[in-house]
Amino acid sequence: MGNNKIFELERPENEPVLDYAPGSEKRQELKEELARLREQDPIEIPLYIGGEEVKTGDLVDIRCPHDHSILLARYHRAGAEEAEMAVEAALEAKKSWNQLDWEDRVSIFERAASLLSGPWRATVNASTMLGQSKSAHQAEIDSACELIDFLRFNNYFLSQLYSNQPASTETEINMIEYRPLEGFVFAVTPFNFTSIAGNLPGAPAVCGNTAVWKPASSAIYSNYYYFKLLQEAGLPAGVINFLPGKGREIGPVILGSEELAGVHFTGSTSTFREIWSQVGQNIENYRDYPRLVGETGGKDFVIAHESADPDELMTALIRGAYEYQGQKCSAISRSYIPEDYWSDMEEELLQKIDNLTMGDVEDFSNFVNAVIDEAAFEKITEYIEDAREADEAEIICGGDYDDSEGYFIEPTVILAHSPRYRTMREEIFGPVLTIYLYDEESFAEILEICDETSPYGLTGAIFARDRQAVDLAREKLTYAAGNFYINDKPTGAVVGRQPFGGARASGTNDKAGSRWNLMRWLSPRTIKENLRPPRDHGYPFLDEE
Ligand SMILES: NC(=O)c1ccc[n+]([C@@H]2O[C@H](COP(=O)([O-])OP(=O)(O)OC[C@H]3O[C@@H](n4cnc5c(N)ncnc54)[C@H](O)[C@@H]3O)[C@@H](O)[C@H]2O)c1
Ligand SMILES: N[C@@H](CCC=O)C(=O)O
């Protein structure tokens, strides 16, 4: 230690997105890594508690969602005993992690970003592609670029926060110490973004906290490789404890600890509500009020105005609804389009959707791949079958599915005859877009319907060349989306440029990868030093005249 320096970080550049163009060296490298991971013997993934490998013997298979015959790994599943050990390990590691200068913590995460940008990029991308069925481009923007951006921008925003200090005067010195929280943080992560999985334990850790990280069962493969990268970057034992397991089993044990300082969650609204209510039930037992940060589901929309450019709109609908099989919390799943406008674009749009290629991630010509697992396949296809039967809706494109080799569902379009049909209201989390046609004279009314139809408030977009229409949508939809886009698809937020998150049923809107998020993992202490303490308790007005 020797904390006698002031150190400022430059604002980072966003990590450039590699295009993996045919013939490029990077494409070749990624293809070779995919083949290596697929062909190697299935790996065994342990838990990491206090830096030690722990094997419970309760082994679970990890297979490719797009090819059931490929066994990638087996992971050891944690139970209540390991959950308690992980909490203890996090508390033990905190004692020394907390004592490091902040530049030491930051440099470990800078090194992680550098390793991911360089020698680990192909491995983390390939494991995301195979384990979560992502195309090369979707893996690149997630497990490489967004995760690198989270690492670098968190460091930068943290250095800015630390330098934010109150005024002092001639007679007093005032300062704020940005303490990590007292206790440990529980990071509970989703399957769909490796970057989010890395960020949820990482953001509290760079602030000086230690974490218990419970990855989603269907993303353990890539999350394990990322954890190995953190070890190589020099992350000390126990700062992040890797604990694959069933949420319902290990969650209550961890949430029951009196040392719980916060929960950093991303996943479904129902799981977050369950966690919130467990924390509520335990509230008398905690030393602090645990910070609850959760980014959850969405029912993301695109509203087309009659002045919208049809090519821009069609491109946004296709990419926003079907990239990564619609399994982004930000994916477009409902769209409101003027009736006359629709009749001009319907044929072309449906043809383009019909032509989307679907298959294995190792064939780079596929635009879409498989959905994540059997439960997702069952849930999504139930919505499709419901629409097939319903009077209020019809399927106008796609609608077929097949799980014999992998969990494949065709990009599907439902035309709803009621703006409140269930696929206009409920999160499906799959490649299903529902369209509702409105009379172009009812634009203001459709904005209200859009605002009131679903409980979520995550992302949404207006497509219009008419500025009055843009302004009206922006005003009427003030609370309908935490990320609102004008003439752009509502997916693909970039760290440092479109801070991401929503309110209503979509979360606490603390904006991942921003200074506001980091602030949730810090507990400021104000310190005043009086340079001339008063020596008499009286006031001047008490003096006799
Ligand atoms: N708003 C955002 O930024 C954002 C980003 C990504 C995903 N999501 C949302 O995530 C959902 C999809 O992800 P998912 O299927 O992994 O979500 P999920 O809620 O099923 O699981 C999320 C995590 O919670 C764990 N979990 C489940 N029950 C638990 C319990 N009782 N206690 C503790 N942990 C528990 C799971 O094992 C997993 O690690 C969608 O609803 C999507 O909209 C939101
Ligand atoms: N931040 C991502 C979505 C994350 C949720 O799945 C986007 O903007 O598309």
What whole-number percentage of the chain has pLDDT above 70?
99
Residues 52 and 67 in one domain: yes
- 200 Cα–ligand 2 center, Å: 14
Q: Would you say the CB of residue 491 lies under 6 angstroms from ligand 2?
A: yes
What is the pLDDT averaged over residues 294-307?
98
Q: Is 321 in the pocket of ligand 2 (CB under 6 A)?
A: no
Q: Which of 328, 427, 511, 514 to mutate to test the pocket of ligand 2 (most atoms within 8 A of CB)?
A: 328
Check if 511 has its Cβ closer than 6 Å to any atom of ligand 2: no
Report pLDDT digits (tens) over 263-298.
999 999 999 999 999 999 999 999 999 999 999 999
Quick check: 87 and 259 in contact, CB under 8 A?
yes
Q: What is the mean pLDDT of the chain?
A: 97
Taking alpha carbons only, the member of 455, 329, 327 closest to residue 380 is: 327
Q: Using a 6 Å cutoff on CB, does residue 329 contact ligand 2?
A: yes
- The pLDDT of 237-248, averaged and rounded, is 98
Same domain, 57 and 194: yes
For residue 245, give the amino acid letter. G
Q: Is residue 325 part of a domain?
A: yes
Residue 379 lies in a domain: yes
Give the CA radius of gyration of the chain.
25
Average pLDDT over residues 150-156: 98
Confirm whether 187 is domain-assigned: yes
* Residue 143's CATH number: 3.40.605.10
Pocket test for ligand 2, best of 140, 319, 322, 330 (most atoms within 8 A of CB): 330
pLDDT confidence band for 544 (50 / 70 / 90): confident
Supply 375's token pair: 């439960």
CB 440 within 8 A of CB 306: yes
pLDDT above 70 (res 515): yes
pLDDT at residue number 374:
98
Pocket test for ligand 2, best of 191, 196, 327, 500 (most atoms within 8 A of CB): 500
* Phi-psi map region of 141: left, alpha, beta (phi>0 left; psi -120 to 50 alpha): alpha
Contacts 24+ apart (CB under 8 A), 475-478: 476/444, 476/447, 476/448, 476/451, 477/447, 477/450, 477/451
Place of tokens 């694959």: 244
Ligand 1 midpoint to CA 195 (Å): 14
For 406-446, how does the pLDDT look when each residue is reduced to its tens digit (9 = 90+)? Answer: 999 999 999 999 999 999 999 999 999 999 999 999 999 99
User: What is the C-alpha separation between 411 and 322, in angstroms, rounded?
Assistant: 7
Question: Count of domains in the chain?
Answer: 2
Q: Mark residue 256 as left, alpha or beta (left: phi above 0; alpha: psi -120 to 50; beta: remaining).
A: alpha
Q: Tell me, in angstroms, the distance from the centre of ligand 1 to residue 29's CA.
A: 32
Would you say residue 2 has pLDDT above 60? no
Q: Is the CB of 500 under 6 A from ligand 2?
A: yes
Claim to verify: residue 459 and residue 512 sit in the same structural domain: no
How remote is the CA of residue 131 from the centroid of ligand 1, in Å? 17
Is 446 found in the same domain as 356? yes
Residue 30's nearest CA partner among 132, 112, 130 is: 130
Mutate to test the pocket of ligand 1, among 213, 268, 432, 508 (most ligand atoms within 8 A of CB): 268
Q: Give me ligand 2 centre to Cα 458, in Å.
A: 10
Q: Ligand 2 mean position to 256 CA, how many Å?
A: 30
Smallest CA separation from ligand 2 atom 1, residue: 493
> Residue 440: what are its φ and ψ, rounded to 5°?
-60, -20
- Is the pLDDT at 516 greater than 90, yes or no? yes
Distance, CA of 358 to CA of 410 (rounded, Å): 8
Q: Is the pLDDT of residue 43 over 80?
A: yes
Q: Say which ligand is closest to the CA of 191.
A: 1
274/317 same-domain check: no
Name the residue of 150, 329, 429 to mutate for ligand 2: max ligand atoms within 8 A of Cβ: 329
Residue type (1 letter), 346:
E
The Å distance, Cα 147 to ligand 2 centre, comes to: 12
Asked if the structure places residue 122 within a domain, the reply is yes
The verdict on 34 and 71 lying in the same domain is yes
- Give one DSSP letter per residue of 320-367, joined into a string: HHHGGGG-STT-EEEEEEEHHHHHHHHHHHHHHHHT--B--TTSTT-S
| CA of 192, closest atom in ligand 2 | 6
**Main-chain phi, psi angles of 471, to 5 degrees:** -65, -40
The pLDDT of 125-134, averaged and rounded, is 99
CB 295 within 8 A of CB 266: yes
CATH of the domain at 344: 3.40.309.10
Residues 385 and 472 placed together within one structural domain of the fold: yes
pTM of the model: 0.98
Query: What's the CA gap between 421 and 454, in Å, rounded?
Result: 11
Nearest residue to 506 via CA among 280, 270, 333: 270
The CA 51 to ligand 1 mean position distance, Å, reads 26
In the 8-state DSSP scheme, what is residue 142? I
Q: From the CA of 328, give the closest atom in ligand 2.
A: 6
pLDDT at 333 over 60: yes
DSSP secondary structure of 221-234: HHHHHHHHHHHHTT
Q: Pick from 240, 220, 245, 215: which is nearest to 230 by CA? A: 240
Residue 13 lies in a domain: no
The protein residue whose alpha carbon is closest to atom 34 in ligand 1 is 247
Residues 187 and 202 in one domain: yes
Distance CA 139, CA 119 (A): 16
Q: Is 536 helix (H, G, I), strand (E, B) or coil?
A: coil
Residue 496 belongs to some domain of the structure: no
Nearest CA to ligand 2 atom 5: 329
> CB within 8 A of 525, min separation 6: which ones?
176, 177, 179
The answer for residues whose C-beta is within 8 angstroms of residue 299's C-beta and 6 or more apart is 333, 334, 424, 425, 426, 427, 453, 454, 455, 456, 458
State the ligand closest to the CA atom of 279: 1
Cβ atoms 411, 398 nearer than 8 A = yes
Work out the percent of the chain whose per-residue pLDDT is above 90.
97
Q: What distances in angstroms separate CA 103 from CA 33, 201, 203, 543, one per listed residue?
A: 34, 18, 15, 54
Report pLDDT for 541. 87
ipTM beyond 0.95?
Answer: yes
Q: Which ligand is nearest to the CA of 223?
A: 1
248 with 351, same domain: the answer is no
Is 31 in the same domain as 107?
yes
User: 134: CA distance to ligand 2 center in Å?
Assistant: 14
Residues 53 and 142 in one domain: yes
Q: Which of 198, 197, 33 is nearest to 130 (CA)?
A: 33
Q: In what order do the strands lie in the sheet with 43-45?
A: 43-45, 67-76, 59-64
Residue 237 in domain: yes
Give the pLDDT of residue 543: 80
Using the mean position of ligand 2's atoms as its centre, give its distance from the Cα of residue 300 in Å. 11
Q: Are residues 246 and 158 in the same domain?
A: yes
Is 8 within a domain?
no
* Res 8 pLDDT > 90: no
Q: Active-site positions?
A: 295
- Give ∠ CA 284-285-291 in degrees, rounded to 5: 85
Residue 184, token pair as written in the block = 């440990």
Q: Are strands 408-409 and 456-457 parallel, antiparallel or unpaired?
A: unpaired
Q: Relative to the alpha carbon of 427, which ligand is closest?
A: 1
* Those residues with Cβ within 8 angstroms of residue 185's Cβ, 6 or more apart along the chain or in another chain: 201, 204, 209, 210, 211, 212, 261, 262, 263, 264, 521
Query: Which contacts qualify for 506-510: CB closer than 8 Å, 24 or more apart?
Result: 506/269, 506/295, 506/296, 506/297, 506/298, 506/329, 506/456, 506/457, 506/458, 506/482, 507/272, 507/294, 507/295, 507/296, 507/458, 507/482, 508/292, 508/293, 508/294, 508/295, 509/295, 509/482, 510/293, 510/295
> Does ligand 2 lie within 6 Å of residue 328's CB atom?
yes
192 lines ligand 2 (CB under 6 A): yes
Residues within a 6 A CB radius of ligand 1: 188-193, 196, 214, 216-217, 247-248, 251, 266-268, 271, 274-275, 295-298, 329, 427, 429, 458, 501, 506-507
Atom of ligand 1 nearest to the CA of 248: 31
State which residues form the domain around 400.
Answer: 300-486
